[in-house]
Amino acid sequence: MLRIAASSAFAEHAAPGLIELFSSRADDLSVELSVHPTSRFRELICSRAVDIAIGPASESSIGSDGSIFLRPFLKYQIITVVAPNSPLAAGIPMPALLRHQQWMLGPSAGSIDGEIATMLRGLAIPESQQRIFQSDAAALEEVMRVGGATLAIGFAVAKDLAAGRLVHVTGPGLDRAGEWCVATLAPSARQPAVSELVGFISTPRCIQAMIPGSGVGVTRFRPKVHVTLWS
What rounded mean pLDDT belongs to the chain? 88
Domains and CATH numbers, the chain: 2-75+179-229 (3.40.190.10), 76-177 (3.40.190.10)
- Residue 59 is predicted with a pLDDT of 65
More confident residue, 80 or 228: 80
For residue 99, what pLDDT band results from cuts at 50, 70 and 90? very high
pLDDT of res. 231:
39
- Find, among 99, 95, 171, the residue nearest to 129 by Cα: 99
pLDDT confidence band for 111 (50 / 70 / 90): confident
Average pLDDT over residues 135-158: 96
Strands 176-185 and 167-169: unpaired
Stretch 80-97: mean pLDDT: 94
CA pair distance 55, 76, nearest whole angstrom: 12
pLDDT given for residue 69 in this prediction: 93
Average pLDDT estimate for 34-46? 92
When mean pLDDT is compared across 78-82, 89-93, 219-223, 225-229, the lowest value belongs to 219-223
Query: Residue 223 pLDDT more than 60?
Result: no
- Per-residue pLDDT at 214: 40
Number of Cβ atoms within 10 Å of the Cβ of 4: 25
pLDDT of 88 reads 94
Which one, of 15, 67, 11, 7, lies nearest residue 40 by Cα?
Answer: 7
